[in-house]
Amino acid sequence: MMTFLPSYVKGAWWTPVEDPDAAVVRDASTGDEVVRVSTKGLDLAGAVAFARREGQRSLGALTFHQRAMVLKNLAIALNERREELYALSMRSGSTRRDSLSDIDGGIGVLFTFSSKARRELPAGTVVLDGPVEPLSKDGSFLGRHVYTRLPGVAVQINAFNFPMWGSLEKFAPAFLAGLPTIVKPATPTAYIAEAWVRMVVETGLLPEGALQLVSGSVPGLFDLLDLGDTVGFTGSASTAERLRAQAKPGVRFTSETDSINASILGPDAVPGTPEFDAYVKQLLVELTTKAGQKCTAIRRAIVPAGTTDAVAAALREKIAERVVVGDPRVEGVTMGPLVSREQRDEVLRQVAVLQDAGGRFVVGSAEAPDARVAEGALSAEGAFLEPMLLAFADATTPAVNDIEAFGPVASIVEYTDVAEAATIVGRGGGSLVTSVATHDPGVATELLTRMGAMNGRVLFLDRDDARTSTGHGAPVPHLVHGGPGRAGGGEELGGIRSVLHSMQRTAIQGSPRMLTALTGVWHPGAETDTAGRHPFRKPLSDLRIGDAVESAEREVTLDDIEVFANFTGDTFYAHMDEESAAANPFFPGRVAHGYLLVSWAAGLFVDPAPGPVLANSGLENLRFVTPVSPGDRIRVALTAKQITPRETDEYGEVRWDAVIHNQDDEIVAQYDVLTLVAKTWQPAEVLV
């Protein structure tokens, strides 16, 4: 009986009744059938409509921080079931080490985005971009940029090599942005995507319509997409161009495609140096992890003239020590097969092209390796290859810079100087990543200057970071993933940047009152409330944007300045030497310390008794505007600017707008004060 892989659409699991033309997915090591994949009869239009209706409604009801907590709890749930996913991934050829990149990496993306969102995004649903722009002399008309939620659906089309990480690194930022997702995994590993989606659905944590899974082809899907929808694609450059042509003008299309990534051995990284050893180790990792089936894998090793033999010999030695090709379920295997025999055959076709272009094997061969398989199994049934390195005498050979054998294959070419090394990198037409092994900052600086524009990421590897480096082929959620030109021209990950990719940036204009209402952040000129209790007596449950305190004045004397100078040790001449201070173009004579004024301001606005304000957690954006001379008087206005409750704590952060004025109503200093404030507070006098 045929087993079909289910899809998850419209809030339920769906399986085709039958399809004689369904794709057959086989075990990468044994050739046994795993599952059949088809979407015959699937209601794609209904899935898109469900996302727009139910997904938009459920996600729109949540703040950024609430969405972030869902991601965290999903990560915890998946983390508890990693072993199931490890075992399943072995059927695709992944070793346990390979699964660290895909399974643990995907879970790590959820944890990272959850944490960054709660630290870096507001507690609401609108993100501010940049400062306020005054558009009138009297401050009654302002402008600024904001990001708001898109009204559509995010369609995510993923490659076969990372069925979990590749999906989650797109899903997490879209989810935070409030955009429901339809995941379309690549067929050869769709059963792994189905497994993690099923685990997520079983938690009951997903908002309705926030995530759907289509296991199989999606004919006609692009006809259903329009303005407000997005497509994120990972795969070949040719497929990306074909899909991009199908997308309507209003659909945002982002692609991350195969690229001829490079790794440069610096001229100082000679054999015997830590940099040479790190380079060879990294090359080994990139050839063997996922059997070289990574969009970020090294495809071109670029080394100083005369060092090809030394690099190849060191790599052969490492392979002999560490690499055992075979079925990942067999003990001792360190490198699994390619995802399918079809993929293996495609890689061998590309290797033949490289050979015809002049490449000669200096490591490995195209022959079937002696793979370690389970007792009674035939290695010929598996998609096994060994690591291969082909040397080229001419670095300008077109095939070196154009042909990607998407497996355990790399070319090695030589350069004469650093400028030529950078030129070789550029011949790849744009890359996701280039790594450089050098301990020479001068070499690193020249290479970045010459080739930075050709890369989405550049890793500098040396003795100081070799042990802690995440590696050439490992994108991290904190930094951008993508690249120019052949690499797709798109950008994923990069922390909160990727959340904003799934939102719309809009310039808004209006009065301070209106911008305060639109953004949830108080703007100078909007209403303030100084009546009633001091704001420091209010817990978050009572505190409101615009609650303020305006202090009395305090005169600054020469004695005050000298006491502060002697007490702190800050006897800078502008505070202690009248003649020198007067000669300074910025001061009329001796002036008060800026930090004296900030300290006094705290004394003027604070309510000192125990209360809901638990701690001062920082001070930001401090600017000193007008000097204060002996005899001047200062006062301070403190206004609740932004309130951010923490989802997991009994307190939150309040950002206060602080402005110090002098007796002439000139601004002396302005800054933001950050405090941690309890959500609720029971005054001590009523405690029993």
Question: Are 230 and 156 in contact, with CB atoms under 8 Å apart?
Answer: no
Residue 317 CB-half CA count within 13 A:
9
- Which one from 169, 194, 256, 286 is the annotated catalytic residue? 256
**Unique residue bearing structure tokens 């399943």:** 88
DSSP output for 515-560: HHHHHSS--BTB--B-SSS-GGG--TTT--TTBEEEPPPEE--HHH
Q: How many CB atoms lie within 10 A of CB 227?
A: 12
DSSP output for 617-660: EEEEEEEE-S---TT-EEEEEEEEEEEEE-TTSSEEEEEEEEEE
Determine phi and psi for 624, rounding to 5 degrees.
-95, 125
- Which one from 169, 275, 286, 295 is the annotated catalytic residue? 295
The answer to whether residue 18 is catalytic is: no
Q: Strand runs (DSSP E) across 326-430, as ranges?
A: 360-363, 388-391, 409-415
User: Where would I find the H helices in 323-405?
Assistant: 341-356, 398-402
Determine phi and psi for 155, rounding to 5 degrees.
-100, 125
d(C-alpha 63, C-alpha 545), whole Å: 18
Q: In what order do the strands lie in the sheet with 431-437?
A: 360-363, 388-391, 409-415, 300-304, 262-265, 431-437, 455-461
**Unique residue bearing structure tokens 């992890």:** 289
Question: Are 588 and 629 in contact, with CB atoms under 8 Å apart?
Answer: yes
- State the DSSP code for 5: P
How far is residue 142 from each of residues 137, 381, 508, 527, 671, measured CA to CA in Å? 10, 69, 8, 15, 19
Q: Which residues of 571-596 are buried (b: 16+ CB within 10 A; e: fewer)?
A: eeebbeeeeebeeeeebebbbbbbeb
d(C-alpha 172, C-alpha 498), whole Å: 9
d(C-alpha 668, C-alpha 551), whole Å: 15
Question: Are 677 and 543 in contact, with CB atoms under 8 Å apart?
Answer: yes
Locate 459 and state its tokens. 């890793």
The answer to whether residue 295 is catalytic is: yes
Q: Determine whether 254 is exposed, middle or buried from the number of CB atoms within 10 Å of its CB (0-12, 13-18, 19+).
A: buried
Question: Are 633 and 663 in contact, with CB atoms under 8 Å apart?
Answer: yes
3-class DSSP assignment, residue 433: strand
Indicate if the alpha-carbon torsion angle 558, 563, 564, 569 is positive or negative. positive
| Residues designated catalytic | 256, 295
